[in-house]
Each structure stands twice: as C-alpha cells, then as structure tokens.
C-alpha cells in the first residue's frame, strides 16, 4: 500500500470504552470508533464483556469494513466493551497487532487498548522475555499488558497493578482497560495523549476525543488527568491519583494542529479555535500581498480561515477532495503514482487562475506532497503561490507516537526555508513560530510537547528507536546499550 499523502504525518490511534446498563454495547463502541476513524485506518477491533467472559472481533481495514452488519449481529451482548482503531507507530501491519488485545492470565482476563508510544518498550520486552514472557505481537501495547499482569500477581486489584506498572513504563500512553468487572481509563503522568470521560444516562463512556462522546449522545464530564487511573464499576466512578505528579506536563501540540477532529474539545480547548488562531498567528508572522487564501483539505482549512480573517485577504475553496477513495490506494505502476494526488484532490481553477494565492497547510514533512500540490495550482493558472504552514519546521524525531522516526527524511532538518521554497516550487514560504504554537489553546495552563520542533524532550528518550523495534531476523539482537538523550542535552 502506498499512502496518498505519503509525506503527511500519520494519525495516532483511537480508544473507546463503555460501561452500560443495557446490553447493546457493541453498537455503542462501533459508533464511537466511527467518530475516531480519523485517528487510524489500518485496523480496528472491539472486545466485549459478557457476564465476565471477554471476547471480541478485530481485523484489518476501516471500521465499516471490519464490522459488517453480519459481524455486529453475531457479537455477544454485555454490559462493557472497549474498542480501538489503529495506525501503527510501532509494530507492523498485521491482524495480530490489531487491538484491543485480550489476555487470559492466572487471575482472570484483561482487554487493553492503547494510544501512544513507550520509550522503554524494547528494554522492558527484553526483561520480560528473560523471565519467561511470550509475546504474540510486535506492538508495545503487549509490553504494557505483560507489565500489568506481572504486577497483578502481587496486587490485590487490577487498579493497584496498573498503578504499580505505571512506575515502570515510560512514554506516551492513554489506555482503556477492561477486566471482568471494571472499565478503567489511564493517562500517562505527562498527559501526552488525550483521553476524556462522558456519561449518557447511567452509561459511562471513555474516549480519545470528545467528538466520540457526541456521536453516542454522551455528555462530556471531564478529561482524565495526567497520571490518573479512573475506575468505573457497579458502584460508579472513582479514581486513583498516586501517579499524578506535580510539575510540567507535555501534551502533544500536534493534536491541535492536525490529529484531532476540529469539533473536539481537549483539555478545555476547542481544536477548531486553536487552528483558527494558528492561521491568525501565521498572518501576523508572515504577511504577503495576495488575492486569495486557500487551505489544503482537511486540516489546513481552519487555519486558512484564520489567516484570511486576520489579514483581510478573502478566503475561498481551492480544492475539492474526493471523499470516496479512502486513505490508501494500490498503485502498481509509476504513472499511477504520479497521478495519485489528482485522484485525491482537484483544484477549482476559477478560484486560483491569474491570482496570487496563499496556500495554507498543517505541515511539511518530506516535501513531496507539497510539491505536487503547488504544481496543481500552477497548472490551474495560479500567478503566484505563497505557502504558509501552521506548524514550525520538523527538525527532530518524535518518540511519543507521531510517525517521525529520524531526521533523514525531514526536509527542514536538511534544508533552509529558502531551499525548501525552491524545492517545492513556491514564491515564498513561512512556518508558524515555536513561541506562537504554544499559544494555540484556549486554556492558558495547558503545557505542550514541542520536541519534534525543538529537540528538547520532556523525558529521557533512546538514542535510536527504529519503527519496527521488535522485528528482527534470527540471530540479530537489538542494541539496548544506547545512552538516553535528556532534555538538557539538546
């Protein structure tokens, strides 16, 4: 498979869970996953708790493909269920890596769904294997599961085991976990990834984004606090805050720039408003004389509206996006690869012909897609193309779930802004400044991770973390001796 927008950042995963007084929990999770489909299109799954017995179904593809009407009708009833839609930041694309993972152990059964990326997963996996653990997947979610189960053997409850496991796992994780009697939501102590709680009647819902709560008719209650363990059982909802440590938090700013849906509210801030603000900051930082502002669908549109409002330059629709092609397209021959963007996007020539165009997009990673988009505008008759990007230049790898693994393919890490402008064929190019990217949220107390722009990591990260960090040929060993990189080292 070849990604249509092959140099765009890929989405995170989406997690969803429900504890209900009814029995049709599968349809609730199905609807919630539909709302979170933008966070991952490679695989999805649902695990259902039917009177203490946890079973489910998962597969490769979109929610609508994996869960046909026949599949949904065959799923058991129950009072709890969790779901997951996945883009693989670690581990390969295979049905074994699809989530939720269901693990049966000596003290019962547990299902787990994970959004994020551990920084010490490879080291933990080696330690677990040396004590007899057997792994069936190549995702770091199974490392979390094994760590929790090890702690469960010496704990009085699943929540105590999770709390103890949190002292060992490091990195980004928002988890939805289901035991035979409890639905549990967990967020890492720095709060890298979003996770929220809602309620519909007597039903409790947990989800990656508030848009999923809206889709099932649930009212937003609150976000899960960084480091918090929220337990939902027959007695209601309670929480453990032993791992809620004081100090700086580190929410991924790219959730606001690109990953999250515009209609979501995360940690008290509206995503749509944040993107409007990004566009306004761009207009102040990088003004230019032009006739029209357009955005690259979908995440560039809100920032384009913000740029237009701040600058006074009219906004118009410059591209029509094909809604029926999906996120991937099989292209066996080079001529087809050259035409993929025309299949996905088509210019409205009357908007750009003979005009000076300001093109707004959320990011430039490798630059290949930006170059093709600019070419489409030139061919449609644009007189000038001035590109503005609603994020700073990507200069460093991300170890917390965003699919940026090395500097090698980051165009900004190897070229100046002027050189990038020449490579992609624009008349001028401007990126949002790091100082302003931290001001996007309505909530002024929200603290962001900007390490992919600055190289200043909030926790220790490995020197090297290959994408498929568990997949090795026989006889090859993973070098775990690399010294960690600390924030102050950058």
Q: Of 13, 44, 252, 270, which is the active-site residue? A: 13
CB neighbour list of residue 164: distance below 8 Å, 6 or more residues apart: 151, 154, 155
236 neighbors 242 (Cβ within 8 angstroms): no
The residue count for the chain: 490
The verdict on whether 270 is a catalytic residue reads no
Q: Compute φ and ψ for 87, nearest 5 degrees.
A: -120, 130
Active-site residue set: 13
């Amino acid at each position: 498979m070849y990604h249509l927008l092959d140099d765009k950042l890929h989405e995170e995963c989406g997690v969803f869970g429900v504890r209900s007084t009814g029995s049709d929990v599968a349809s609730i999770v199905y609807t919630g996953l539909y709302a979170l489909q933008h966070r991952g299109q490679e695989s999805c799954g649902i695990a259902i708790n039917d009177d203490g017995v946890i079973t489910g179904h998962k597969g490769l593809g979109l929610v609508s493909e994996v869960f046909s009407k026949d599949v949904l009708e065959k799923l058991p009833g129950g009072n709890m269920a969790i779901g997951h839609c996945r883009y693989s930041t670690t581990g390969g694309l295979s049905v074994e890596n699809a989530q939720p993972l269901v693990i049966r152990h000596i003290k019962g059964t547990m299902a787990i769904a994970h959004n994020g990326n551990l920084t010490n997963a490879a080291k933990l996996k080696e330690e677990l294997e040396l004590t007899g653990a057997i792994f069936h997947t190549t995702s770091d979610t199974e490392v979390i599961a094994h760590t929790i189960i090890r702690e469960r053997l010496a704990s009085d409850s699943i929540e105590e085991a999770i709390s103890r496991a949190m002292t060992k796992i490091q990195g980004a994780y928002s988890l939805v976990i289901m035991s035979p009697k409890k639905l549990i939501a967990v967020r890492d102590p720095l709060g890298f990834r979003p996770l929220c709680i809602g309620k519909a009647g007597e039903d409790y819902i947990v989800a990656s984004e508030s848009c999923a709560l809206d889709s099932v008719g649930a009212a937003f209650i609150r976000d899960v606090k960084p480091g918090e363990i929220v337990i939902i059982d027959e007695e209601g909802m309670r929480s453990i805050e032993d791992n809620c440590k004081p100090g700086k938090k580190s929410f991924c700013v790219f959730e606001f720039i690109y990953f999250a849906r515009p209609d979501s509210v995360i940690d008290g801030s509206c995503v749509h408003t944040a993107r409007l603000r990004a566009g306004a900051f761009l207009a102040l930082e990088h003004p230019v004389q032009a006739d029209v502002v357009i955005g690259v669908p979908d995440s560039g549109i809100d920032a384009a509206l913000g740029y237009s409002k701040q600058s006074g330059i009219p906004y118009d629709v410059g591209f029509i996006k094909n809604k029926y092609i999906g996120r991937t397209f099989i292209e066996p021959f080079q001529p087809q690869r050259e035409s993929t963007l025309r299949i996905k996007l088509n210019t409205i020539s009357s908007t750009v012909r003979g005009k000076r165009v300001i093109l707004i997009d959320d990011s430039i990673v490798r630059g290949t897609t930006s170059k093709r988009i600019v070419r489409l505008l030139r061919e449609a008759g644009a007189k000038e193309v001035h590109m503005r990007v609603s994020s700073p230049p990507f200069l460093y790898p991300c170890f917390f779930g965003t699919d940026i693994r090395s500097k090698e393919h980051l165009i900004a890490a190897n070229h100046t802004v002027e050189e990038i402008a020449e490579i992609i064929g624009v008349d001028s190019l401007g990126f949002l400044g790091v100082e302003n990217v931290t001001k996007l949220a309505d909530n002024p107390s929200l603290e962001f991770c900007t390490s992919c722009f600055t190289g200043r990591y909030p926790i220790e990260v490995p020197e090297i973390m290959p994408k498929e960090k568990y997949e090795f040929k026989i006889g090859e060993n993973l070098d775990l001796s690399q010294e960690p990189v600390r924030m102050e080292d950058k």
